[in-house]
Amino acid sequence: MSAAKRTRTWSRLAVLLLLAAGSAFAVWHIRRAHGATDLPASQAHRGEFLVRVPCRGQLIAARSVQLSAPLDVADLQIIWLAPSGSDVKEGMTVIRFDPSRVRQDRKEKKAALEQAQATLDQAVAQARITADQDKLDLAKTRYDAEKARLEASKAAIISAMDGEKSKIDLGLAEEKVKVQQATAELHKKSNEAKIASSKRLRDEAQADVARAERRLAQLDVKSPLNGVVTYLANRTQGWMNSQPFKVGDHVSAGLAVAEIPDLSTLQMESKVDEVDRGRIALGDTVLVHVDAFPEKVLNAKLVSISPLTEQAFTEWPPTRSFKAYARLSAPDKRLRPGMNAGADIIQERIPDALSIPAKALFTFHGKPTVYVKTNGRYLPVQVSVRARNTDEIAVEGIKADQFVALAEPEQVNR
């Protein structure tokens, strides 16, 4: 092979090697850039960091009033109910029972009252007539006695026989006065007793009428507060067939029919795990997230914590937890007791903290590490953890607005 031919061959080989090396470098550079670009990332941000204790539960009303059938009326029948779940105002009729029997009873009691009043009026009138007659009779006997006394005073000027006769007549007249006085007193006491008896019967009849009026008024059961009406289960046909009270149902005296919770006393009842009990205290701020209104965050204050754990047998395996109650600062009118909700009890507030997603924290050589994007690459940076939530972590060691990887770069580039 000539020297010129060998030179051309080596030149071609050198060009091919240069092209291969350039291609390999370009592929490596593209892969590195591609991996850095496609890696999921999030930006660290600075601000107040809330250390939260998450829990779940439901809304309850701290104050609730039950509406019951009247105690002194048996076997009532419901003829009207306010719609279940409707808003009711204080003094508004919620339940109405059939008044026909009570109205008939009131009519009979009024008739008895009229009869008792007539008897009393008759007794008073008769007593007045008797008293007047006794006064007249007493006056007549006293007149006769005075006349006899006048005749007896003539004894000195008339015969002895006539004088004795006049004294006897005077004695008889005075005795008649005493008898008439005793008769008048007897009539007075007798009439007073009759009037008192008639008044007692009249008062009893008035009490019966008043009782009937009160029973009739109780048949319209009114709400004692503003709230939402819910009807309790009617278990007169057994637990298996129980259902909320409805129009046409018969109700025993004193039986609870409905319940009205006071919406202004709504609280968040939460289950707190045993491991979190020591992290919370009365007065802590609570952020409530009602499932039905996820866009709205409600502020509340922790007002009560159960002293002992409660075991839930409805879950498997059974769990034990504390009950925490947070009072809502300004309940929304749309909220109702029984709504499911989540709550974040604020354990601590860290001002001016740097926070990242929990997915961005990894362990590198046994130490907490984040991968910070630098010149198109994600480089490991050791950090210190200040506080930790389920979805975010407060750290120190990086700057605000830096992008951190949500997955380890080595796993993605492999």
The domain spans of the chain are 41-60+263-413, 76-97+220-261, 101-218
pLDDT band at 5 (very low <50, low <70, confident <90, very high): low
Q: What is the Cα–Cα distance from 208 to 229, expressed in whole angstroms?
A: 33
Question: What's the pLDDT score for residue 91?
Answer: 93
Averaged pLDDT for residues 140-146: 80
DSSP 179-199: HHHHHHHHHHHHHHHHHHHHH
Question: What's the pLDDT score for residue 33?
Answer: 44
The segment with the largest mean pLDDT, out of 121-130, 174-183, 285-294, is 285-294
**pLDDT of 282 over the 60 cut:** yes
Tokens for 366, please give them.
């046994």
Question: What's the pLDDT score for residue 246?
Answer: 93
Phi, psi (degrees; rounded to nearest 5) at 77: -125, 135
**Least confident piece of the model among 158-162, 302-306, 390-394:** 158-162
pLDDT band at 241 (very low <50, low <70, confident <90, very high): confident
- Which residues lie below 8 Å from residue 282, measured CB to CB, with a gap of 6+? 302, 303, 304, 305
Averaged pLDDT for residues 132-137: 84
Share of the chain above pLDDT 90, in %: 53
pLDDT band at 413 (very low <50, low <70, confident <90, very high): very low
Quote the Cα angle for 232-237-239, to 5°: 65
- Which residues lie below 8 Å from residue 62, measured CB to CB, with a gap of 6+? 262, 265, 266, 267, 325, 327
Averaged pLDDT for residues 358-383: 92
Q: Which residue has the higher pLDDT, 18 or 282?
A: 282
Question: What's the pLDDT score for residue 187?
Answer: 85
pLDDT tens figures, 199-223: 999 999 999 999 999 999 999 999 9
Q: Which secondary-structure segment (H or E) carries 228?
A: strand 227-228
DSSP 3-state assignment of 351? strand
Share of the chain above pLDDT 70, in %: 83
Question: What's the pLDDT score for residue 16?
Answer: 66
Task: State the burial class of residue 250 (Cβ atoms within 10 Å of its Cβ: 0-12, 13-18, 19+).
Answer: middle
Question: What's the pLDDT score for residue 347?
Answer: 93
> Can you identify the CATH homologous superfamily of domain 101-218?
Helix Hairpins (1.10.287.620)
* CA-based torsion, 389, 390, 396, 400: positive or negative: negative
Residue range 76-97+220-261 in CATH 3.90.75: no
DSSP code, position 306: -
CATH of 41-60+263-413, one of 3.30.420.80, 2.40.30.170, 2.40.160.40, 1.10.8.870: 2.40.30.170
**pLDDT of 156 over the 60 cut:** no
Question: What's the pLDDT score for residue 85?
Answer: 86
Amino acid identity, position 167:
K
Q: What is the Cα–Cα distance from 328 to 310, expressed in whole angstroms?
A: 23
Place of tokens 């291969």: 20
Q: What is the Cα–Cα distance from 191 to 185, expressed in whole angstroms?
A: 10
**pLDDT of 78 over the 70 cut:** yes
Pairing type for strands 45-61 and 340-357 reads antiparallel
**pLDDT of 334 over the 60 cut:** yes
Question: What's the pLDDT score for residue 264?
Answer: 87
**pLDDT of 31 over the 60 cut:** no
Closest CA to 44 of 409, 410, 395: 395
Question: What's the pLDDT score for residue 27?
Answer: 44
**pLDDT of 32 over the 90 cut:** no
